[in-house]
Amino acid sequence: MPTLPSPLAPLEQDDFHFDSMGTTEDMTRYCPGGYHPVAVGNIFHGNNGAYRIMHKLGFGSYATVWLAQKTGASEGFVALKITTSESQGSTEAEMLSEVARMPRTLERSHVLTLLDTFEHRGPNGVHSGLVTDVVVPLLSLNPFKRPPAWRKSAAYGLAQAVAQLHAAGIVHGDLHLGNTGIAIPQLSAQDPCDVMQDLPAYELTVVLPVNAAHQTPSLPPYVVAPCDLAAYYDSVADDAEPEMKLFDFGDAHKAGALPSRFQCAQEACAPEVVFALVVEHIDNPPVEPPADVWALGATIYEIFTGSPLFRGVGLGGLPKSMASMSATLPLAWKAWCDSAPRPCSSPDAWWTERRERIRGAYADDRDADALLALLERILVLDPAERPSAAEIVQDPWFMIWM
């Protein structure tokens, strides 16, 4: 007779009858220190009200995010992020609160708005709850298939978001396309019953361990696939300008301080950070405002072309590729490039290819040339030579068609 695994042993996917096939968070992470088990209809009590879970919005390594309805007199929809108990949601809340305390210079904030925070104790530990406005992930809207004017408006809002952050003395630290979204102010005008009818039906995967001894309170009854909020947005937004929002502040930190945990999406990682990681072998390098500016440029490029700056290049190959795009190299880069096994390439071919991709996304050469000029200002290896986010907001490219 085979020996059954211990109920205390970490579960693997093979320990479950059903697999969500990557459409949800990893159900093996429902364990002490991990995700909090959530079911549709659960009510969470915050400091500013109570919130009923209505649908799933998304998930990540450190949290699940839910569409929730405020209960009581002021009903409305919000997003509720519930962190794993081992992560520090308080850091994200602190950074968002810091931005909110800054005097408002814009008509609307382009940074996610923090509405409430609380702690919730469950079978897997104590979790942070962060209540914010609802946003649609930009990637789900296929921005590179939208009209150029729509994309420029999104890029402008993103530049304003970075300028807003930096004015508060905060570095985002992990800015990339996956951490950007579009607000849905139209949601507040919709009847809640209509909203729930118009959202896609739930896609559930039952969480059923093979071994009955593993069926503990740590597990939810099912996991939920995120709903397609992009389709709903298109049905209510009509031709409204996109209201850009920057989110996911788990890696944000004060300028001049090291991040508490380093994480950087490869497609938007700044050259000085890549050089420190790959060449100098520094595990937790400084990430300062110019790194956000590089990431802003890389994200704008991807919004317009549908392609990252360096497609198919692993982290180890990034220094060589980055050196190939620049006519002038910082001293440390020049010494490294001169000693490299093969010489670094000329930047002409690199920029020629990017120019062709940008112009392929435009019918207007004047506008394409203005965008290219902005990207050439931003995408330089020396962080000291990059413009500030506040300067980027004033760039001539944003004045065309605006």
Least confident of 218-227, 316-325, 331-340: 331-340
pLDDT (mean) for 25-47:
97
Q: Work out the pLDDT band at 1, boundaries 50, 70, 90.
A: very low
Which tens digits make up the pLDDT trace of 101-128? 877 666 788 999 999 999 999 999 999 9
Question: Residue 99: pLDDT above 50?
Answer: yes
Task: Look up tokens 């300067």; give the residue.
Answer: 391
**36-45, 98-107, 162-171, 297-306, range with the lowest pLDDT:** 98-107
Residues 6+ apart with CB under 8 A from 85: 32, 33, 34, 36, 122, 124, 125, 126, 127
9 vs 125, residue with greater confidence: 125
- For the ranges 7-16, 24-33, 55-64, the lowest mean pLDDT is seen at 7-16
Please give the order of strands across the beta sheet that includes 125-132.
43-45, 50-59, 63-70, 77-83, 125-132, 114-122
Cα dihedral 300, 305, 307, 313 sign: negative
Q: What CA–CA distance (Å, rounded) separates 35 from 85?
A: 7
Residues 6+ apart with CB under 8 A from 64: 25, 35, 36, 38, 56, 58, 81, 82
Residue-level pLDDT at 238: 83
pLDDT interval class at 341 (50, 70, 90): low
